[in-house]
Amino acid sequence: MIGKVITGKSFGGCIRYVVQKHDAIILNAAGVRMQEVNQIINDFNLQRKYNPNLGKAVGHIALSWSVNDLAKLTDEVMVNMAKEYLQRMKIQDTQYLIVKHQDKSHPHIHIVYNRVNNNGKTISDNFQKQRNVQVAKQLTLKHGLFIAPGKDKVNRQQLKGEDKVKYELFDAIKMASKKVKNITELIQVLEKQGIITHLKYKGNTNEIQGISFSKGQFKFKGSEIDRSLSYSRLTRLLEQQLVEQEKSLADQLRDVMNAKKERESENKTEQITYLKPEPESHYLTQSLSVGADLLQGLLGNIADDDDGPERKRRKKNEQQQGRGISR
């Protein structure tokens, strides 16, 4: 269920649009006659005179439901839901007219009410748009009605007027917010697309309280376009995106440095020359050769030891005996 609230100055123009629409059906009314259009207009204007200083005395509400709820929405159900809606919106003790239109595929009705109540007092329109969103959501949940999947699923081609501009703003702001770092950059990007950003400041200070966007003749608060586009949520989103971007850059830099270290480590490994291990037979042969050389050396040393004094005496005796024989 979706509600749309409008205030105006002319009962004549509003009533004629609502009642004289093709296939329009008056479902219910309070405080006004329903037989003729002029009678309805006169009845509203008569009560308006109780408060002649109220410029915008015309209240106009459009309530629409999803085509998925068509089987549930008899005329009686829609009238009862409209009355409950008016009560929750604090629109009471006044004239109203409920009319069903059939020019769209989805069920919808129009409610015209007098902002001058039966006692001549003014029905306030303060915070009506915000309250309208809350009440529509409450009734949707209470009656188990279809909940739309979100703005991304809305068919933009079927939108007109104010609704069309509102969705154009939503799409443009969401797209631009992904490319900027702060509100200042967002304002500059949107301005190039013909969208003007209006900042609301607290008193005479530089503290920003709210944000609005306008395109052509239409102007909306950020929260009216979508709750995510209020100033607080929008700035929080931009700050979060900036943190994530910085973290992503840090992660990329760390990956590059790690890859560089790995390449340097691989290059060092390739530069090391490893000796080819010799077979075990090589070491055995080498050991035997060394042992043979050592044994030969020992034997040589022993032979050298035989040239001591005893051998010299024997050799001398042998020489003397040889000389005696020769004599």
What DSSP assignment string belongs to 68-96?
Answer: GGTTT--HHHHHHHHHHHHHHTT--SS-E
Q: What is the tens place of the pLDDT at every residue in 150-166? A: 666 677 777 788 888 99
- Residue 93: strand pairing partners: none
Quick check: helix, strand or coil at residue 234? helix
Q: pLDDT tens digits, residue range 170-225?
A: 999 999 999 999 999 999 999 999 999 999 999 889 999 999 999 999 999 998 89
Distance CA 51, CA 45 (A): 10
Residues (pLDDT < 50) of the chain are: 284, 325-327
For domain 2-148, give the CATH number: 3.30.930.30
**Contact (CB, 8 A) for 135 and 108:** no
pTM of the model: 0.52
Domain with CATH 3.30.930.30 in the chain: 2-148
